[in-house]
Structure 1
Amino acid sequence: MAKSEGGILETVKTVVWALLIAGVFRTLFFQPFWIPSESMKDTLLIGDFIFVNKMAYGYSKYSCPFGICPISGRLLASDPQRGDVVVFRHPVSGDDYVKRLIGLPGDTVQVKNGILFLNGAEVPQEPAGVFTEKYEQQGPQGGYPACANDAQATGICEKPRARETLPGGRTHDVLNVRDNNPGSDNTDVFTVPAGHYFFMGDNRDNSLDSRFAQTAGGVGFVPAENLLGRVDRVMFSSAGRSLFYFWTWRADRFFKAVE
């Protein structure tokens, strides 16, 4: 009887230690996320499984689960770079979002006729073909993608794609679903406050981001302490309703670098 109880105790201790080690690893180094929406297409697709580099910007109270780290501001802080793909904690809802960092503290940001302007200067775009995907339900939510064409008739969803070059030379793709989209293609001039950042989705017509106020479902300006980390790579990707449906995994996205 004593031997049996000792075996159970050892098992419990092993599980506890494993959970503690996993918790420390998740808090300090890398945290996994699964992409649920199309706001970052075609950089990130619904069903992409990513690890967020939590060492990239240092640590805040949000680095711990449920925001319980006893940290004021950021510890071992490092400034994010314009163009980084970042996971951050929404300032109001507490949900985790992933977007691209566009505006740094002190920048002015505006979108005019679908073109981004930073500090009064137009950010250049070059046509980069058309992004295509099957017009079908995607992810566990089962939503259909937004398309620029009559995808119901053809079964293929199309979006014009452009290559955008940010100040400093970093480039990435952006998608366009429609022109003159209210609220996203033409905005006011935003001035990013000190200690905050301005984020946008690469799928420009289908992203609730810093162009939209928090009261309107957007994210507004994001405080520095809300940044969780940088997305460097897609580990693997599932086109099905669950990441466990291995037959739907996208082989071309295994360990794919995120630009």
Structure 2
Amino acid sequence: MASTDDKAKRREQEKLASKAAKPAKKKSELRETIVVVIQALLIALIFRSFAYQPFSIPTASLQPNLMIGDYVLASKFTYGYGRYSLPMGIIPFEGRIFGNEPNRGDIAVFKPVPQDDNYIKRVIGLPGDRIQMKQGRLFINGEMVEREMVERTTDTDSFNTTLPVIKYRETLPNGVSYIVQEISDTAALDNTQEYIVPEGQFFMMGDNRDRSQDSRVLSAVGFVPFDNLVGKAEVRFFSIKDNINPWFVWMWPGNVRWDRMFTSVYD
């Protein structure tokens, strides 16, 4: 039969063993948490790099279709993978893997040749096309694109400047239809030279025709090489007025555009 001293020793040993086990258990839990966080970050990075990447709309160039404060997801796989599809262009390779050329009327994210920032515009001209603006009307390969007046309204840009505009429904030769806005048909980019789109490049334009710096400005955007495409815009997943940061949740009431969330950018 164990003595009182033996029992006391055993209790003391059990206490010491329990104290030693607690730090080990805490270290194990911390390690597991770090592993889970790293795994989640890797999954997010892979998803962003190869599936869908989120982009915010900071300017009025695609209004009313994409408004300032819209957040969209662009699919990476639609056009295949090029240098600029990957984060920060970290792999400097030429060409595209699984490349598919965009269709006329797509809304595409890209990096213009002279710029570092991502741009988002509509694909208007394909390789070999002749593009020109005459008195506010779009001509593709010598043919005037169909345009029908919708309404007179106003448009507010990123500098909070509001001007009257006319909305038109424009229909491209392939049947893609969308709304464009014009302040007038005599603005600086409403009468242009004829642009001949080089092979392997595309001509991009904003839907807000008098408030868009796009391929019509050769020194700033110009023709966009296929390799410079980032992805095809697909869906709005969030929208908030006045470009308010989306994490300012206390400002959501009255500012979030609930009717624009989780809607196609081609509606």
Normalising by structure 2, we get a TM-score of 0.85
Question: Residue 186 of structure 2 aligns to a residue in which SS?
Answer: coil
CA distance in 2, matches of 1:194, 1:185: 25
The question of 1:69 aligning with 2:88 is answered no
CA distance in 2, matches of 1:180, 1:4: 71
> Equivalent of 2:67, from 45, 49, 62?
45
Contact 1:42/1:131 (8 A) holds in 2: no
User: How do residues 134-173 of structure 1 correspond to structure 2 at under 5 angstroms?
Assistant: 143-148=159-164, 159-173=165-179
CA distance in 2, matches of 1:36, 1:208: 13
Letter of the 1:180 counterpart: T
Question: Residue 27 of structure 2 aligns to a residue in which SS?
Answer: helix
User: How do residues 184-203 of structure 1 correspond to structure 2 at under 5 angstroms?
Assistant: 184-203=189-208
Q: What is aligned with 1:82?
A: 104
Q: Alpha carbon RMSD of aligned pairs, Å?
A: 1.6
Deviations 1:171-219 (A, max 9, x none): 111101133112x1110010000000000000000000000023xxx31
Q: What is aligned with 1:112?
A: 134
Structure 1 residues 249 and 196 mapped into 2: Cα distance closer, same or farther (>3 Å)? same
Letter of the 1:79 counterpart: E
Contact 2:154/2:162 (8 A) holds in 1: no
Greater gyration radius: 2
Q: What is aligned with 2:229?
A: 227
Question: Residue 202 of structure 2 aligns to a residue in which SS?
Answer: strand
Identity fraction in percent: 42
Q: What is aligned with 1:250?
A: 257
Question: Residue 19 of structure 1 aligns to a residue in which SS?
Answer: helix
- Name whichever structure is richer in helix by fraction: 2
The question of 1:209 aligning with 2:214 is answered yes
Deviations 1:147-189 (A, max 9, x none): 12xxxxxxxxxx210011111111111101133112x111001
Contact 1:99/1:201 (8 A) holds in 2: yes
Contact 1:38/1:145 (8 A) holds in 2: no
* CA displacement at 1:236 relative to structure 2: 2.1
Letter of the 1:198 counterpart: F
Question: Residue 209 of structure 2 aligns to a residue in which SS?
Answer: coil
* CA displacement at 1:258 relative to structure 2: 1.6
Normalising by structure 1, we get a TM-score of 0.88
* CA displacement at 1:124 relative to structure 2: 1.3
* CA displacement at 1:21 relative to structure 2: 0.6
Gaps of 5+ in 2: 1-22
Deviations 1:43-101 (A, max 9, x none): 10000011001111100011111101364301001111000011111222221010000
CA distance in 1, matches of 2:185, 2:139: 17
Number of aligned positions between the proteins: 239
Gaps of 5+ in 1: 149-158
Q: What is aligned with 2:11?
A: none
CA distance in 2, matches of 1:257, 1:130: 24
